[in-house]
Amino acid sequence: MVLTNMSYYAIPLVSVMFSGHLGNVHLAGATLGNSWATVTGYAFVATLSGAHYWPP
């Protein structure tokens, strides 16, 4: 399970590291893209899991 989590978090890290070699603008774009994908993906999974149907 630890290896799975490390692999999951390594994917955006590696793409940001490669983008950093291209320049500041590419690095900023890759970071914003990764952040947007993470937030959108989390919201999508939370919606599908039925989290908003749980009683308070």
Q: Alpha carbon of 17 to those of 7, 50, 51: distances in Å?
A: 15, 35, 34
SS3 assignment for the chain: CHHHHHHHHHHHHHHHHHHHCCCHHHHHHHHHHHHHHHHHHHHHHHHHCCHHHCCC
Question: Which backbone phi and psi does 23 adopt, to 5 degrees?
Answer: 145, 175
Please write the tens of the pLDDT for every residue from 7-26.
888 888 888 889 989 999 99
Please write the tens of the pLDDT for every residue from 20-55.
899 999 999 989 998 898 888 877 877 777 766 666
